[in-house]
Structure 1
Amino acid sequence: MTSSEVEAHLAKVRSATRRRDAETMIELMRRVTGEEPRMWATVVGFGEYHYKYASGREGDAPAAGFAARSAATTVYLNDGVGAHSDLLEKLGPHTTGVGCVYIKNLDDIDLDVLETVVRRSYQTLTAGIYTNRARES
């Protein structure tokens, strides 16, 4: 079951592909995290982790999450894409930012690889207080 807040957010997504991919991502992230989705602003998040940087800045963020953006589905890897470069080479067509993977169509990628990446990131982030920034991975 998806929360009404998540359902309402996804109902506003104009692209049929992004809506379909969002449903796939919800099921994938539920399997990986054992958590239910909830909204973190415009991100559909699962679980949470606490971070504290050397600068003293700290806070909480979703331990796994995605956003159905107009250009692509954005998968957030808050431990940084560099930590997953070995698997991302096998993913299929995508682009990356420091802590994001952008996928235009989930039909074009290897979902098993994506699930492994999300699982590995989630386990890293929920192992304790995470002290790195994505760009440090």
Structure 2
Amino acid sequence: MSTIKTKATEQDVATFIENFAPTERRKEDAFFLKDFMERTTGFPAVLWGESMIGFGSYHYKSERSRQEGDWPLVGFSPRKAAMSLYVYSGCAGQENLLKDLGKFKMGKSCIYVNKISDIDLCVLENLIQSTVSFLKSKYPETS
């Protein structure tokens, strides 16, 4: 059975942000997002792998392969090129929310923003809440 390599770690999230965020602006945005996502999800920030900060977790089994593992409900990474937000699940209503989010680029399931002030925080909060609700209903043993 195949398992994913990115796993929750015991590393200190604040230390990670201080050392990983490439600029002062990215650091400020990362600390803001950490607090914002903790309040929005009710879960503490946990470093996953080498560069993702996640909130909550769920266990999944892929329908297309034998891969399974644990993954954060939502998260972000303060990368050099952009802040990567892992808050999109494609569940009902999220396409409409994206229209009002603000300035961003979309990857496969990742939202890239240059700075947090480019996006509407109320919309981000709704995206986070809808993703968490969707994943909790799809994976009932969510923590």
How does the TM-score come out when normalised to structure 2?
0.81
Residues paired across the two proteins, number: 128
**Deviation at residue 120 of structure 1 after TM alignment:** 0.7
Structure 1 match to 2:3: none
Q: Residue deviations 1:47-66, cap 9 Å, x none? A: 10111122332111011100
2: distance between equivalents of 1:77 and 1:105?
16
Q: CA deviation at 1:27?
A: 1.6
Matches of 1:33 and 1:27 in 2, distance apart?
A: 10
Cα 1:35–1:118 shift into 2, 3 Å? same
Shift of 1:86: 0.8
Give, in whole Å, the separation in 2 of the partners of 1:23 and 1:30. 11
Say whether residues 1:98 and 2:112 are aligned partners.
Answer: no
Verify: 1:63 aligned to 2:63, yes or no: no
Sequence identity percentage: 34
Residue from 45, 56, 59 that aligns with 1:47:
56
The answer to whether the aligner puts 1:22 opposite 2:30 as a matched pair is: yes
Tell me the amino acid that sits aligned with residue 117 of structure 2: D
Provide structure 2 residue ranges, at least 5 long, that are not aligned to the other structure.
1-9
Report the aligned-residue RMSD.
2.1
Contact kept, 8 Å, 2:94 with 2:127, in 1: the verdict is yes
Unaligned stretches of 5+ in structure 1? 131-137
- Write out the 4+ residue segments of structure 1 that deviate beyond 6 Å after TM superposition: none
